[in-house]
Amino acid sequence: MLTGKRILLIVTGGIAAYKTPDLVRRLRERGAAVRCVLTEGGARFVTPLSLSAVSGDKVYRDLFDLTDEQEMGHIQLSRDADVILVAPASADVLAKMAHGLATDLATTALLATDKPVIVAPAMNVRMWEHAATRANLRTLMDRGVTVIGPEDGDMACGEFGPGRMTEPLDIVAAVVAFFHGGRPLAGRHALVTSGPTHEPIDPVRYIANRSSGKQGHAIATALAALGARVTLVTGPVALKDPPGVATVHVETARDMLAACLEALPADIAVCAAAVADWRAADTAPEKMKKDGGPLSALALAENPDILAALAQPGPDRPALVVGFAAETETVVAHARAKLKKKGCDWICANDVSPETGTFGGDMNRVHLVTADGIEASEVEDWPALTKAQVGEKLARRIARHLAPAAAEDAGSSAE
Ligand code: CTP
């Protein structure tokens, strides 16, 4: 699977560096030749001897070491590789890469290369979430760097959250996918809606719902990871904009519809937003005052249906329009009816009854209803997955539908 591929593995400082001998072994098992560069920080967590033993090669460490430079200069190191893999990639190396600093052998090789670069970040959750790291990552992704992970989990520093390096086997899978055209949606534009909408009643009050936006944001992230250019139109959420995704922030359903129409044409539309069905028919210009009695007249007007609008036949209709059905009972039957009513191609039906914890939670259980002739519409029952996994599975399923050959090359067919 990786036969004949030459990988330059750069190991930077972080506790996850201890996993890199396993990573090297797994890459070599699949036929890759691996050459390692170990930074000073990396050498605090893994010894050059163990990396050299598993890679079967010398480990390169010093920019100014005459032996290193004579045998294999930094230019040659990157020239001799098909891909550069930075794992673990510390916040520091990401910052240096984003800003073009070349302060040691690793960063010099990274600046001198014209080869594809894959990074597997690993750091403390606060460092990962810091605006500087987010901006650096966005810069790197815009330059075509592939980012794997990090994963959520307990961290060595005692905190929980995103920042843990992706496990070696998953990094290997991502490297394999990379070599086998792991971007089956390259050249496609995907439009994703996410989050709730807020519908003002007066200057301080609004109608809203409990949607967190986690599912829509995860779908946008996963589609981007498969190479799609993604526009995410999101209502107010407490989430960060996904890196590498053009994010448009809106408040009301009508703003969301306008932003979606503005983003067309698109090849794919996934409507995961929990759009408020109604808005206040008249927004009070001033804060409404209590007068001791009940509020008897709050007239509501129906909001435009964004999914139905995007699914309408016409020259701008995306090739694949996917909706969500948040139901609390007879989930699949309602989803079938919704598919027909809205005119979309697929519905991801999910049970949001309070006991499932779907709304606002991290897990989701999806039944994918596809409209291959509605009477014969097929249903795929997915297991309970994290919302990130649902995003990835849906993105791979979309890739398989729109670009079957590319998806197969990318190893996405084994769904
Ligand atoms: N949707 C939308 N615009 C709306 C309402 C819903 O785009 N104004 C989309 C959602 O993003 C989702 C799908 O439609 O993909 C299903 O939403 P839902 O609110 O369940 O649809 P309804 O027809 O309102 O269903 P029900 O009548 O069962 O509430």
Strand partners, 196: 274
Residue 271: half-sphere exposure toward Cβ, Cα within 13 Å: 32
Whether residue 396 is predicted with pLDDT greater than 80 in this model: the reply is yes
Note the pLDDT tens digit of each residue in 12-29: 999 999 999 999 999 999
Q: What is the dihedral of CA 382, 384, 386, 392, to 10 degrees?
A: -10
Per the prediction, the chain carries an average pLDDT of 89
Question: Do residues 202 and 99 both lie within one domain?
Answer: no
Whether residue 251 is predicted with pLDDT greater than 70 in this model: the reply is yes
Question: Do residues 170 and 196 both lie within one domain?
Answer: no
Nearest atom in ligand 1 to the alpha carbon of residue 324 is: 15
Q: Is residue 313 part of a domain?
A: yes
Note the pLDDT tens digit of each residue in 300-326: 999 999 999 999 999 999 999 999 998
Write down the pLDDT at residue 149: 83
Q: Is residue 1 part of a domain?
A: no
| Residue 121 neighbours by CB under 8 Å, 6+ apart | 88, 89, 90, 91, 94, 128, 137, 147, 149, 150, 163, 165
179, 202, 222 - which closes a domain: 179
Alpha carbon of 271 to ligand 1 centroid (Å): 9
Q: Provide, rounded to the nearest whole percent, the portion of the chain with pLDDT above 90.
A: 60
Question: Do residues 275 and 194 both lie within one domain?
Answer: yes
Nearest atom in ligand 1 to the alpha carbon of residue 341 is: 23
DSSP output for 256-297? HHHHHHHH---SEEEE--B--SEEESS--SSPPPP-SS----
DSSP 38: E
d(CA 197, CA 130): 27
Question: Do residues 304 and 401 both lie within one domain?
Answer: yes
What is the residue with the minimal CA distance to atom 8 of ligand 1? Answer: 305
Note the pLDDT tens digit of each residue in 173-218: 888 878 876 688 888 999 999 999 999 999 999 999 989 999 999 9
CATH of the domain at 99: 3.40.50.1950
179, 207, 222 - which closes a domain: 179
Whether residue 410 is predicted with pLDDT greater than 60 in this model: the reply is no
Query: Which amino acid is it at 25?
Result: R
Write down the pLDDT at residue 159: 77
Q: Is residue 184 part of a domain?
A: no
Alpha carbon of 316 to ligand 1 centroid (Å): 21
Write down the pLDDT at residue 339: 93
Note the pLDDT tens digit of each residue in 117-144: 999 999 999 999 899 998 998 899 878 8
Mean pLDDT of 393-404: 88
Alpha carbon of 305 to ligand 1 centroid (Å): 7
Alpha carbon of 11 to ligand 1 centroid (Å): 47
Whether residue 226 is predicted with pLDDT greater than 60 in this model: the reply is yes
Write down the pLDDT at residue 413: 44
Note the pLDDT tens digit of each residue in 51-69: 999 999 999 998 766 565 5
Nearest atom in ligand 1 to the alpha carbon of residue 276 is: 8
d(CA 273, CA 410): 29
Whether residue 368 is predicted with pLDDT greater than 90 in this model: the reply is yes
DSSP 303: P
Write down the pLDDT at residue 391: 94
Question: Do residues 194 and 247 both lie within one domain?
Answer: yes
What is the residue with the minimal CA distance to atom 24 of ligand 1? Answer: 277
Residue in 198, 210, 215, 277 to alter for ligand 1 test, most ligand atoms within 8 A of Cβ: 277
What is the residue with the minimal CA distance to atom 17 of ligand 1? Answer: 325
d(CA 106, CA 72): 13
**C-alpha of 9 from chain center:** 23
Residue 157 bears catalytic tag: yes
Q: How confident is residue 405, by pLDDT bands cut at 50, 70 and 90?
A: low
The count of structural domains within the chain is: 2
Residue ranges making up the domain that contains 305 = 189-409
Whether residue 374 is predicted with pLDDT greater than 60 in this model: the reply is no
d(CA 10, CA 85): 6
Residue in 217, 252, 275 to alter for ligand 1 test, most ligand atoms within 8 A of Cβ: 275
Write down the pLDDT at residue 383: 83
> Among residues 157, 260, 344, 348, which one is catalytic?
157
Question: Do residues 162 and 230 both lie within one domain?
Answer: no
| Contact in structure between 347 and 382 (CB atoms under 8 Å) | no
Pairing of strands 189-194, 160-164: unpaired
Strand partners, 323: 271, 347
Q: Is residue 414 part of a domain?
A: no
Alpha carbon of 343 to ligand 1 centroid (Å): 12
Write down the pLDDT at residue 152: 76
Tell which residue, 376, 384, 385, 382, has the closest CA to residue 397.
382
Write down the pLDDT at residue 304: 98
Ligand 1 cavity residues, CB under 6 Å: 193, 253, 271, 273, 275, 277, 303, 305-307, 323-326, 338
The token pair at 113 is 């290369």
Write down the pLDDT at residue 414: 42
Residue 28 sits at φ, ψ, to 5 deg, of: -70, -35
Alpha carbon of 169 to ligand 1 centroid (Å): 39
